[in-house]
Amino acid sequence: MNKAQRGLLFKKLSKLASAAKVASRVLATLSAEKKNSVLAGMADALSANMDAILAANAQDLKNAKKKGLSQAFIERLTLTDKRINEMAQSLREIATLDDPVGRQIRSWTRPNGLSISKVSVPIGTILIIYESRPNVTSDCIGLCFKSGNAVILRGGSDAICSNQAIFAILEKIVLAAGLPKCVITLVKEIDRRAVDILLSLDQYIDLVMPRGGESLIKEVREKSKIPVIKHYKGICHVFVDESADFAMAQRIILNAKIQRPAVCNAMETLLVHEKIAKDFLPTMIEALQDARVEIRGDSATRKLVKGLKCATVEDWSTEYLDLILSVKVVKTVDEAIAHINHYGSNHSDTIVTQDNECADKFLKEVDSACVYVNASTRFTDGYQFGFGAEIGISTDKLHARGPMGLEELTTYKYVIRGSGQIRE
């Protein structure tokens, strides 16, 4: 791309972002009833156009296989009848939720008679940069629309056919409702320089959320002039305490690892208390291996179960997104907590225990967005939390953490009512 071409692309994307900013002000004033009606129409349209979506997705899958992309990548890219129905159901669920805009968070009256209210408002214009998951297109449109935010979507080139098909279906519903075209926007330029330009448009875009691999998130964080909330990698742990129910622990571990290994809330490291390791680990590892999971163990684990690969220091901080699991034996709950806080990604971690004191300690001291007792990490998901969907799972601490639903897509302003007061 030469200088003239880059100039034209900058002009085009600036115009697009400016239009989204204007559209966001229209969207911010919509009634809950209007938004819910549009969302219901979007859901029905997805269901009615399933064949077109699957045909577009088949083309993306064909191209991905031709490129030799990983099975984990292809799994994330794949749409099915079930997944499209889930996308439609997410939009219907979002429509049933309370409108997050205009909510009075707090109010009080000062001695001078000023009445002050803290009221929720949309963030404005949100840029989502994502990779291989086509469902992100509809999920983010639904959440941003309900929360009064214009959204600019820039998906990966490997899912471009699927994303364009889903977007075209949803855009028709928006336009039929008489709303501005740029309430929702899909950037079709696949040149990576388009991302660089978008990340410089802080006069129009209020927030950027990258969803994808570690390299994408790092690049966005380093280049963006716009505030970024990171949907970072998920190095999730299950710690089996000495008081754990073995049958419960096995169910949780198998679910956390194999139910859908290519997602960010899947378990990557298993920690087991040394007092039960001899009785628990051999049977547990056999069950995992029966499910085709490759085990990489520390020295204590490999003494108990022969023939395992050796876990390296790098393994403890690796997000496999595959049927690979690192296993470590620890002496105490304190050692488990220290390991998680050092090697984890502040995403989702769980303890399996019958000891309430131990559970409370784990909940208090593990510094992650989602901390569980006796449940699978796979529940870290906006739909599972009752949010309808999620725009991402934030591993940051400001301004949102964990699955980001409608509430996390608002900010607030102060509304002050007076009767002629002046400051002395």
Specify the higher pLDDT residue, 131 or 409: 409
Report which residue type is found at 3: K
Query: Is 121 among the domain residues?
Result: yes
- The answer to the question of residue 122 being in a domain is yes
- In what helix (H) or strand (E) does residue 384 lie, and over which residues does it extend? none
What pLDDT does residue 367 have?
97
Q: Are residues 14 and 145 in the same domain?
A: yes
Query: What pLDDT is recorded for position 212?
Result: 82
Overall pTM surpassing 0.85 (yes/no): yes
The candidate with the shortest Cα–Cα distance to 113, out of 413, 421, 424, 415, is 421
3-state secondary structure of 206: coil
137 with 50, same domain: the answer is yes
Q: How confident is the model at residue 131 (pLDDT cuts 50, 70, 90)?
A: confident
The answer on pLDDT for 70 being more than 80 is: yes
According to DSSP, residue 380 is labeled -
Residue 114, Ramachandran bin (φ over 0: left; ψ between -120 and 50: alpha; else beta): beta
Question: What's 98's DSSP letter?
Answer: P
Alpha-carbon distance of 381 to 403, in angstroms, equals 6
Has residue 74 been placed in a domain?
yes
- What is the arithmetic mean of pLDDT over 132-140? 93
Cα distance between residue 136 and residue 393, in whole Å: 12
218 lies in the same domain as 250: no
CA distance 57 to 166: 10
Question: Is the separation of the CB atoms in 185 and 20 below 8 Å?
Answer: yes
Mean of pLDDT values over 299-325: 97
User: Do 183 and 58 fall into the same domain?
Assistant: yes
Give yes or no for a contact between 392 and 269, defined as CB atoms under 8 angstroms apart: no
pLDDT digits (tens, 9 = 90+) for 333-360: 999 999 999 999 999 999 999 999 999 9
pLDDT of 190: 84
- Regarding whether 217 and 96 lie in a shared domain, the answer is yes
Question: Does residue 384 fall inside a structural domain?
Answer: no
Q: In this predicted structure, what is the pLDDT of residue 258?
A: 97
Q: Does 188 lie in the same domain as 124?
A: yes
Whether 10 and 39 map to the same domain: the answer is: yes
Is the pLDDT at 14 greater than 90? The verdict is yes
Note whether 91 and 151 are same-domain residues. Answer: yes
Q: Please, which residues bridge with residue 267 across strands?
A: 236
Q: How far apart, in whole angstroms, are the C-alpha atoms of residue 301 and residue 298? A: 5
Please check whether residues 256 and 171 belong to one and the same domain.
no
394 assigned to some structural domain: no
In a domain, 391, yes or no: no
Q: Is the pLDDT of residue 1 over 80?
A: no
Candidates 344, 340, 347, 343; CA nearest to 390 is 347
**pLDDT (tens digit per residue) in 370-392:** 999 999 999 999 999 999 889 88
27 and 142 assigned to the same domain: yes
Number of domains in the chain: 2
14 occurs within a structural domain? yes
State whether 32 and 155 are in the same domain. yes
Q: Kindly report each contact of residues 219-227 with a partner whose C-beta sits within 8 Å and lies 24 or more positions away, as own/partner.
A: 219/195, 220/129, 220/195, 223/195, 223/196, 223/199, 224/199, 225/199, 225/200, 225/201, 226/127, 226/199, 226/201, 226/202
Please give the full DSSP string across 62-75, using - where no structure is assigned.
Answer: HHHHHHT--HHHHH
> What pLDDT shows up at residue 213?
80
Q: 366: alpha, beta or left, given left = phi > 0 and alpha = psi -120 to 50?
A: beta
Structural domain for 76, as ranges: 3-229+404-417
Pairwise pLDDT comparison (399 vs 246), residue with the higher score? 246
What's the number of CA atoms in the CB half-sphere (13 Å) around residue 98?
A: 7
DSSP result, 221-238:
HHH-SS-B--B----EEE
Q: Region 317-341: what's the mean pLDDT?
A: 97
**Contact (Cβ atoms closer than 8 angstroms) between residue 179 and residue 27:** yes
The pLDDT of residue 106 is above 80: yes
What pLDDT score was predicted for residue 248?
A: 98
Residues 256-301: tens digit of each pLDDT? 999 999 899 999 999 999 999 999 999 999 999 999 999 999 999 9
Burial string for 121-145 (b: 16+ CB within 10 Å, else e) reads bbbbbbbbbbbbbbbbbbbbbbbbb
Quick: pLDDT tens for 151-190.
999 999 999 999 999 999 999 999 999 999 999 999 999 8
Mean pLDDT of the chain: 96
Instruction: Retrieve residue 170's tokens.
Output: 């949803």
Is the same domain home to 344 and 322? yes
CATH value at residue 128: 3.40.605.10
Q: Among 151, 146, 135, which Cα is nearest to 87's?
A: 135
Enclosing H/E stretch for 390: none
CATH of the domain at 272: 3.40.309.10
Whose structure tokens read 């607030």?
412
> What Cα–Cα distance (Å) separates residue 69 from each residue in 59, 64, 105, 158, 382?
14, 6, 47, 10, 28
